Amino acid sequence: MLLRCRDRTLALDVPAVMGILNVTPDSFSDGGQHYERQVAIAAGLRMVEEGAAIVDVGGESTRPGASAVDAQQEIDRVVPVIEALAARADVVLSVDTSKPEVIAAALRAGAHLVNDIRALRMPGALEAVAAQNAAVCVMHMQGEPATMQVDPRYDDVVGEVRTFLLARVNACLAAGISRDSICIDPGIGFGKTYQHNVDLLRNQRSFTDLGYPLLIGVSRKGVIGIMTGRPASARVVGSAVAAAFAVQAGASIVRAHDVAATVDAVKVAVALRGGVSD
- pLDDT by residue for the chain (278 residues), tens digit each? 899 999 999 999 999 999 999 998 755 454 555 557 889 999 999 999 999 999 999 998 877 666 678 999 999 999 999 999 999 999 999 999 999 999 999 999 999 999 999 999 999 999 999 999 999 999 999 988 777 787 889 999 999 999 999 999 999 999 999 999 999 999 999 999 999 999 999 999 999 999 999 999 999 999 999 999 999 989 999 999 999 999 999 999 999 999 999 999 999 999 998 755 44
Half-sphere exposure of residue 136: CA atoms within 13 angstroms, side-chain side: 35
pLDDT of 28 reads: 47
pLDDT of 114 reads: 98
Q: Where are the chain's structural domains?
A: 2-273
Neighbouring-strand partners of residue 241: none
Catalytic positions, please? 221, 255
pLDDT of 34 reads: 54
Q: What is the value of pTM for the model shown?
A: 0.92
Q: Is residue 107 within 8 Å of 93, Cβ to Cβ?
A: no
Query: For 171, phi and psi rounded to 5 degrees?
Result: -65, -40
DSSP string, the chain: -EEEETTEEEE-SSPEEEEEEE-SS--TTTTTTT-SHHHHHHHHHHHHHTT-SEEEEESS--STTPPP--HHHHHHHHHHHHHHHHHH--SEEEEE---HHHHHHHHHHT--EEEETTTT-STTHHHHHHHTT-EEEEE--SS-TTTTTSS---SSHHHHHHHHHHHHHHHHHHTT--GGGEEEE--TTSS--HHHHHHHHHTTHHHHTTTSPBEEE-TT-HHHHHHH---GGG-HHHHHHHHHHHHHTT-SEEEESSHHHHHHHHHHHHHHHTSS--
Distance between CA atoms of residues 6 and 223, nearest Å = 34
Handedness of CA 184, 7, 102, 127 (dihedral sign): negative
Homologous superfamily of 2-273? Dihydropteroate synthase-like (3.20.20.20)
Query: For 256, phi and psi rounded to 5 degrees?
Result: -145, 140
pLDDT of 274 reads: 75
